[in-house]
């Protein structure tokens, strides 16, 4: 089954404790992206990757890191989480080209206290 998986689905952590949210897709998509969703603000892009070893900042990259060592994986790293990073996070993938629909993972609900 074609899918995007994320782990964990829910996470409660404390300020400053490094964490990683994993994302994996099995559709051989070149393009992968991370979004955060906050009430009233819609989906905002954090980072994206157009292919292996090619990543770039989206609209709200501060406080986040990513890596793309393999085509299928695109982890999101919070080196020192803060309460303003409490949010719902989605990973998405698609073939190369903004014409193509994005396939979204199930979401990760993160709470930073």
Partner 1 sequence: ILNVEQSPQSLHVQEGDSTNFTCSFPSSNFYALHWYRWETAKSPEALFVMTLNGDEKKKGRISATLNTKEGYSYLYIKGSQPEDSATYLCAQGESGGYQKVTFGTGTKLQVIP
- Residue in 53, 59, 70, 79 binding partner 1, rule: CB under 8 A: 59
Does 101 sit near partner 1 (CB under 8 A)? yes
Closest approach of partner 1 to the CB of residue 21, in Å:
15
Which is nearest to 92 in space by CA: 41, 54, 36? 36
**Region binding partner 1 by CB under 8 A among candidate stretches 18-26, 68-76, 78-86, 102-110:** 102-110
Q: Is 28 exposed, middle or buried (0-12, 13-18, 19+ CB in 10 A)?
A: exposed
Under the binding rule (CB under 8 A), the answer on residue 106 touching partner 1 is yes
Select 56 or 70, whichever has its Cβ closest to partner 1.
56
Site for partner 1 in 66-95 (CB under 8 A): 90
Residue 100 as a binder of partner 1 (CB under 8 A): the answer is yes
Burial of 33 (0-12, 13-18, 19+ CB in 10 A): buried
Q: Rounded CA gap, 47 and 58, in Å?
A: 5
Q: What is the SS3 assignment for 38?
A: strand
Instruction: Give dist(CA 83, CA 76) in Å, integer.
Output: 17
- Report the residue from 7, 13, 22, 45 that binds partner 1 according to the rule CB under 8 A: 45
Contacting positions for partner 1 (CB under 8 A): 31, 33, 35, 40-45, 48, 50, 56, 59, 90, 96-102, 104-107
């Amino acid at each position: 089954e074609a899918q995007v998986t994320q782990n964990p689905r829910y996470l409660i952590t404390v300020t400053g404790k490094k964490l990683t949210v994993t994302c994996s897709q099995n559709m051989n998509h070149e393009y992968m992206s991370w979004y955060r969703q906050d009430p009233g603000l819609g989906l905002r892009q954090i980072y994206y990757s157009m292919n292996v070893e090619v990543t770039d900042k989206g609209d709200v990259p501060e406080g986040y890191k990513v890596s793309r060592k393999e085509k299928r994986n695109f982890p999101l790293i919070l080196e020192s989480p803060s309460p303003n990073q409490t949010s719902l996070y989605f990973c998405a993938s698609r073939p190369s080209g903004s014409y193509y629909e994005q396939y979204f993972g199930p979401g990760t609900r993160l709470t930073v206290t």
